[in-house]
């Protein structure tokens, strides 16, 4: 992690962050502020979040979720785990330096959190150019590209890129994007479970997993360890 002047560094806790965030569920806010407000879903220490033992240091497992992995191309079992770990690690870094107090950072991290939780990319989708939308609608013939029911929206698919290749026409049932502030979604059991897991990893003073550590995580050395310890198993 690159650090600026030592005087610039004012660590912020999750509780301190929550105190300055835009209010979650306020549809009057700009989409940027609404995205930033999703960070307010994180739990501070104490609210069912306790410190537990360090894990994720078995080189034959995904450092993010502990599933067995033998890949020598990536430490992680999936792109999702890679993205989750990057979110935790980079948010830990932004809290440690206080850079998370910038509204732009809050927007960027909040957008990523909502996407990780499964709510899609509402801010990105609000900016899909009309020309790209028209191309997708033409391609789909007005039907959902997953189930062929009549389409109701154009959404990002996979990456957050707004070119037609990465967009899909969707119907109400196949749509995965949730508006920022959607309470039913944000309070659903799987979302709350993921929030608890992420919150725990973000709150701990000592990183719970090696991939959570903005100062010392080195995925190449993790994979190198996996390679060199392969033979111990055989
Ligand atoms: Zn994993
Ligand atoms: Zn559909
Ligand atoms: Zn692209």
Which range marks the domain in which residue 45 is found? 11-119+180-233
Distance between Cα 169 and ligand 2 center (Å) = 8
Domain count within the chain = 2
CA torsion 56-58-63-69 (nearest 10°) is: -150
Q: Are residues 34 and 52 in the same domain?
A: yes
Residue 6 lies in a domain: no
CA torsion 176-182-183-187 (nearest 10°) is: 30
Q: Are residues 125 and 173 in the same domain?
A: yes
Residue 133 lies in a domain: yes
Is the CB of residue 181 less than 8 Å from the CB of residue 37? yes
Q: Are residues 24 and 129 in the same domain?
A: no
Q: Are residues 202 and 153 in the same domain?
A: no
- Domain boundary at 157, 177, 197, which? 177
pLDDT for position 169 = 96
pLDDT for position 45 = 79
pLDDT for position 9 = 81
pLDDT for position 218 = 96
Distance between Cα 173 and ligand 2 center (Å) = 5
Q: Are residues 139 and 196 in the same domain?
A: no
Report residues of the chain scoring pLDDT below 50.
1, 234
Q: Are residues 79 and 187 in the same domain?
A: yes
Distance between Cα 74 and ligand 1 center (Å) = 11
Distance between Cα 127 and ligand 2 center (Å) = 22
Residue 114 lies in a domain: yes
pLDDT for position 205 = 86
Residue 2 lies in a domain: no
Q: Are residues 131 and 114 in the same domain?
A: no
- Domain boundary at 177, 197, 223, which? 177
Residue 44 lies in a domain: yes
- Domain boundary at 177, 193, 209, which? 177
Distance between Cα 73 and ligand 3 center (Å) = 22
Helix axes 103-116, 189-203, angle to 10 degrees: 130
Q: Are residues 187 and 172 in the same domain?
A: no
Q: Are residues 47 and 92 in the same domain?
A: yes
Instruction: Give tens-digit pLDDT for 167-219.
Output: 999 999 999 999 999 999 999 999 999 999 999 999 988 898 999 999 999 99
Q: Are residues 106 and 47 in the same domain?
A: yes
Residue 4 lies in a domain: no
pLDDT for position 6 = 56
Residue 136 lies in a domain: yes
Ligand nearest, relative to CA of residue 160: 3
Residue 3 lies in a domain: no
Q: Are residues 20 and 98 in the same domain?
A: yes
Q: Are residues 27 and 66 in the same domain?
A: yes
Q: H helices within 31-102, ranges in order?
A: 31-37, 79-97
Distance between Cα 67 and ligand 1 center (Å) = 6
């Amino acid at each position: 992690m690159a650090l600026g002047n030592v005087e610039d560094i004012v660590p912020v806790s999750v509780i301190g962050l929550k105190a300055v965030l835009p209010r979650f569920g306020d549809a009057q806010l700009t989409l940027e502020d609404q995205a930033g407000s999703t960070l307010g879903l994180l739990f501070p220490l104490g609210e069912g979040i306790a410190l537990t033992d360090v894990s994720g240091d078995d080189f034959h497992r995904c450092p993010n979720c502990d599933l067995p992995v033998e890949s020598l191309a990536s430490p992680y079992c999936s792109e999702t785990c890679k993205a989750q770990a990057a979110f935790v690690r980079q948010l830990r870094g932004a809290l440690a330096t206080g850079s998370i107090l910038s509204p732009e950072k809050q927007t960027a991290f909040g957008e990523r959190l909502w996407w990780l939780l499964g709510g899609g990319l509402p801010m990105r989708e609000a900016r899909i150019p009309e020309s790209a939308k028209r191309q997708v609608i033409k391609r789909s013939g007005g039907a959902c590209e997953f189930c062929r029911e009549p389409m109701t929206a154009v959404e990002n698919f996979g990456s957050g890129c707004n070119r037609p290749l990465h967009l899909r026409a969707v119907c109400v049932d196949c749509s995965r994007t949730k508006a920022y502030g959607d309470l039913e979604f944000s309070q659903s059991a799987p979302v709350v479970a993921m929030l608890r897991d992420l919150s725990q990893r973000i709150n701990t003073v000592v990183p719970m997993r090696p991939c959570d550590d903005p100062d010392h995580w080195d995925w190449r050395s993790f994979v190198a360890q996996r390679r060199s310890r392969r033979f111990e198993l055989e």
